[in-house]
Structure 1
């Protein structure tokens, strides 16, 4: 019939196109016919659903135009009567305990320990972490204990000499600012 080999017949390309087009048309016709049958089978169901939608919309319109429904508030029950308990009768051999007032500790505001010559922000933080927050606490702390705190903090704090810190802190606690200033003028970088 036809020689479809393009190497034998250079004009066979149009035959390939023709076969592809014919196969596509046949597939389209078969698909159209089978889908048309499916669509015809679903038409009664579609018509039934459309009538249900119309009935629903019409009943909604009727309900919205009908008389307004009054909603009565629910009755609120009265609150229950307070329960009155009788006074307890004293038991023999048992005395009443009167509560003592509770004394809460008053938080002492932390002083600015950086006023002391030789104490900077980092050393103040170290002292605060050790519980030394005020000038009074620093004044009663021995220089040896302060040296131990500085040694435990690392080598960069070991160059500080806390020998005069308790004396400076005592002057600050007594609010002797002139005496503190005079002592600090005699010191060189916190050292005597």
Structure 2
């Protein structure tokens, strides 16, 4: 009766070729995206492993006399203070220290960490550039991107201008 065989159409082979090409392109795109996500995860694991290895190999500048974890962490952070570019952000000391806890996102222990690497004033934080933010974030072992999300630089700039 009716001849409904799709292979009898004049352009059936062309349609099949186009569908095969589209399927191949979609497969490539999905595979590429999946591979990039895997690469990002592996790079994150590699960075944390390298940080752990660096911590193991680094000799502390100050020997922890106390057995509590806080002093061990502060000594580990203090050992990395030389990685900060103080010629750009400025030098400060305990004598002219600001109350960094005023900045949203900075608590008492985090303030101790910042002091351990030589950051005492709002002006120093206000002078941070992107590289400084990443370096300080890594050294003080803080959540990635938290300094930017809480806008420490903006808050510190306002607080330094009010002084």
TM-score (norm 2): 0.37
Please identify the structure whose Cα radius of gyration is greater. Answer: 1
Pick 1 or 2: higher relative contact order, CA cutoff 8 A, min separation 6.
2
TM-score (norm 1): 0.32
